[in-house]
Amino acid sequence: MRHRTLAAVLAAALAAPLTAAAAPDPGPPPLRVAPDGRSFTAGGAPFLWLGDTAWGLLATADPAEVRHYLDVRAAQGFTVVQTAVPEGADAEGGGADWSRVDAAVAEAARRGLHIAVTPALPAAAAAPALGRFLGARYGDRVVWVLGDGTDDDAATWSALGEGIAAGAVADPLMTFEPGPGRSSADVVGDAAWLSFALVRGAACEDAVARVGGMLARPFLDARPAQEDAPDCSGTGAATTALDVRRSAYGDVFAGAAGHTYGHRDTWAPDAALRAAALVDEGAVQMAHLRALTDSRAARTPAPELLVEGAAGVLRAADHLMAHVPAGEGIALDTTALPGEALRGWWFDPRTGVPTDVGTVPRSPSASFFPPVTGPADAGLDWVLVIDDPAAGLAPPGDQ
């Protein structure tokens, strides 16, 4: 999808004074690439990118709906809202009007949310100047997602990114959305302005699992499955809460810096559909992923610890976690953890409730079986958490 403005609108934007927007709310601390080069921090603290795609955020003329949307997403534990400047939406009276972007950034900041914006693609000659305008106006208060998912006009997008970096006093995070089957680096190379990568699979491909630790920078899935949208089976079936949970946990447990949720009807024309989409099952359950990752620091993929079965595994010095996508038994090498007596938990990603497993053996091949009680919950996903009790960690999901 392209987000282009009319040439006259763009010209007016470039003619406007290159000054910062008035009195921004300080909001949350800006995002930075963590020292590990694979994740993000905010104010020096670990930061999980838990985003939502809100393509209609800057198109709606109702400030009350924008505030309601942000209120709900903040309460659900989301940390980032991703949106785009739509064609013509920044034009008022023949000039460029960035007040909707200003308002969205400020309202999000008041709720502790970060805004990621895809700007309109300018003419090639105008890209550097527009970039400097955007960099000066928003600094590091906005994350920039350049590109339109087609790999077209990569040179123009790069010039825009270079302009943003030149115009910003601070260093904003920027990325590029590639076409199917590619990563950002495949299209724009090791551009100085590229802070983190987006990866895209071909049809029905799990690109994050394929890329894994291959990228020497933080990465995210550019276009994961959206809730209640047609799935990739071709049967007309819609994606479910289970599908989006598997996608979200699968991303994080494969080493991605987070996940961007989406719902087909979040910005549908019908108000009733929009209201229902905001509180659909999968959206509500994203809060449990946030709670789990806030309570445990494991971010390093450790597939070598999976001895049998299907699971994504993360490890830290004193604990490990395994996301079991389909309710089946697994075997793990628990000798990677210190301590003679380990403690286990099953974390339910539907409710955020942990179940104490008790003592876990230290073994090169320890077997674990999710707490499936019958046909109703067979095939559902679970997260196994194994701790060194000496670390004094709270139950998973507790702060």
At 345, which CATH number? Answer: 2.60.40
Domain boundary pick from 243, 278, 295: 295
pLDDT value at position 94?
Answer: 34
Inter-CA distances, 90 with 60, 336, 362, 385, Å: 11, 54, 60, 48
Contact 14, 133 (CB under 8 A): yes
Question: How many secondary structure helices (H) and strands (E) does the chain include?
Answer: 10, 22
- If phi over 0 gives left and psi between -120 and 50 gives alpha, with beta otherwise, what is residue 358? left
Pair (241, 313) in one structural domain: no
Pair (203, 100) in one structural domain: yes
Sign of CA dihedral 295, 299, 305, 311: positive
pTM of the predicted protein model: 0.89
Q: Give the tokens for residue 62.
A: 């109702």
Pair (305, 242) in one structural domain: no
Pair (68, 135) in one structural domain: yes
Look at the chain and count its residues: 399
Alpha carbons 15 and 154: distance in angstroms, whole number: 24
Pair (44, 108) in one structural domain: yes
398 lies in some domain: no
Alpha carbons 105 and 113: distance in angstroms, whole number: 9
Q: Identify the domain containing residue 348 by its residue range.
A: 300-391
How many whole angstroms from its chain centre is CA 216? 18
Pair (210, 352) in one structural domain: no
Pair (212, 182) in one structural domain: yes
Pair (119, 142) in one structural domain: yes
How many other C-beta atoms lie within 10 A of the C-beta of residue 321?
Answer: 27
Residue 181: exposure state from Cβ atoms within 10 A (0-12, 13-18, ≥19) = middle
399 lies in some domain: no
243 lies in some domain: yes
2 lies in some domain: no
Query: Helix H segments across 1-112?
Result: 7-15, 63-75, 99-110
Selection from 123, 127, 116, 131 nearest residue 85 by Cα? 116
For strand 342-347 and strand 382-387, is the pairing parallel, antiparallel, or unpaired? antiparallel
Q: Give the tokens for residue 381.
A: 């996903």
Contact 261, 241 (CB under 8 A): no
Dihedral, 165, 166, 170, 172 alpha carbons, nearest 10? -10
Domain boundary pick from 274, 295, 316: 295
At 259, which CATH number? Answer: 3.20.20.80
Q: Which residues pair with residue 368 across a beta bridge?
A: 330
Alpha carbons 312 and 343: distance in angstroms, whole number: 19
Pair (217, 278) in one structural domain: yes
Q: pLDDT digit of tens for each residue in the chain (399 aa)?
A: 333 332 332 333 334 343 444 445 568 999 999 998 999 999 999 999 999 999 889 988 789 999 999 999 999 999 999 999 976 544 333 345 688 899 999 999 999 999 999 999 999 999 999 999 999 999 999 999 999 999 999 999 999 999 999 999 899 999 999 998 889 988 999 999 999 999 998 767 777 777 755 677 899 999 888 999 988 777 778 999 999 999 999 999 999 999 999 999 998 889 899 999 999 999 999 999 999 999 999 999 999 999 999 999 999 999 999 999 999 999 999 999 998 889 999 999 999 999 999 999 999 999 999 998 888 888 999 999 999 999 999 999 997
61 lies in some domain: yes
- Cβ partners under 8 Å of residue 373, min gap 6: none
1 lies in some domain: no
* φ, ψ (nearest 5 deg) of residue 313: -125, 135
Pair (106, 150) in one structural domain: yes
pLDDT value at position 241?
Answer: 95
337 lies in some domain: yes
pLDDT value at position 205?
Answer: 72
Tally of domains in the chain: 2
Contacts 24+ apart (CB under 8 A), 230-239: 232/203, 232/204
Selection from 197, 117, 131 nearest residue 159 by Cα? 131
Domain boundary pick from 256, 272, 295: 295
Inter-CA distances, 73 with 95, 229, 258, 271, 392, Å: 32, 20, 16, 17, 32
Contact 396, 345 (CB under 8 A): yes
Pair (116, 259) in one structural domain: yes
Name the amino acid, one letter, at 103.
A
pLDDT value at position 20?
Answer: 41
Pair (54, 178) in one structural domain: yes
Q: Give the tokens for residue 70.
A: 């942000």
